Amino acid sequence: MTLPTQSTIVELDPVFAEMAAASFRLAGEGPELTPRERILLSLVADVCEQVLGVPYELHVRAALDQGIDADDLRELLRFISYDSGYPAALAALVRLAEIEREHGLPGPTGKGHEVDADGTGSPIPAAMRAQVQALDPGLADYMDLQSRMRADMSRISVRERAFATMTVDVLYQTLQESFRAHVGRALGAGATPDEVRAAVRVTAPFGMTRTWRALNVLDALLAEREEQEGKRTPGAA
């Protein structure tokens, strides 16, 4: 048994295959994102949508082709589980293990990271922590735990993590507090506004209308950020 390829879709419906290929190609073209980033975001979309059949297998295959190994894939699922929801990430993890067994793929080495579930504190910015604490102390404690448990991750870069959480926001349409925070994190990790825009645009094949809405929100966030930075610049009007 071999992992599905583009020819698998052609056999199902050549017209659909042509449409899908053209759509993914256009949404993902351009120099803003790396091939590795594009496939990671496709996998995140699969988790959010719980599309764990042929599309997920195609993306796992593409990930392997990009040098993303079983340990990387598991860290991605661990990382997004707090935003996608643990049940959704668990379903994707179960399916990933099945794909590895079915196709004789290399499995994980067992290497992980320090979880620090029993620790204290959180790497969440102080202002955000204070805001959530005022809203609901129990949720603040939960967010502290989630952030603390991921602080030692290193296989997925900060930029990739920011783009991944933005993808969750687009597909779940959580375009308020969390989207603002995740866009800020991407920019803070060195991503340019054009790269952040590309990370949103690449979600279009998973539901164009959600991408459209997210880009409108992103435009407002970037304009607000530019205005704030202009005010902080000496001599700015």
> How far apart are alpha carbons 138 and 134 in whole angstroms?
10
User: For residue 231, what pLDDT is reported?
Assistant: 76
* pLDDT at residue 63 tops 80: yes
pLDDT, one tens digit per residue, over 116-147 is 999 988 899 899 999 999 999 999 999 999 99
| Helix 70-84 with 137-150: angle, nearest 10 deg | 170
The tally of CA atoms less than 13 A away on the side-chain side of residue 186 is 29
Question: What pTM does this model have?
Answer: 0.92
The alpha carbon of 97 is separated from its chain's Cα centroid by a whole number of angstroms, namely 20
Task: Output the average pLDDT for the chain.
Answer: 93
> How far apart are alpha carbons 59 and 167 in whole angstroms?
15
User: For residue 235, what pLDDT is reported?
Assistant: 58
Tokens of 125: 């910015």
User: For residue 1, what pLDDT is reported?
Assistant: 44
> How far apart are alpha carbons 130 and 138 in whole angstroms?
12
How many percent of the chain have pLDDT more than 90?
Answer: 84
> How far apart are alpha carbons 75 and 154 in whole angstroms?
9
pLDDT, one tens digit per residue, over 193-230 is 999 999 999 999 999 999 999 999 999 999 999 888 87
Overall average pLDDT of the 182-188 stretch: 97
pLDDT, one tens digit per residue, over 84-106 is 999 999 999 999 999 999 999 99
With cut-offs at 50, 70 and 90, classify the pLDDT of residue 111: confident
CB-based contact 117:151 (threshold 8 Å): no
CB atoms within 10 A of CB 29: 13
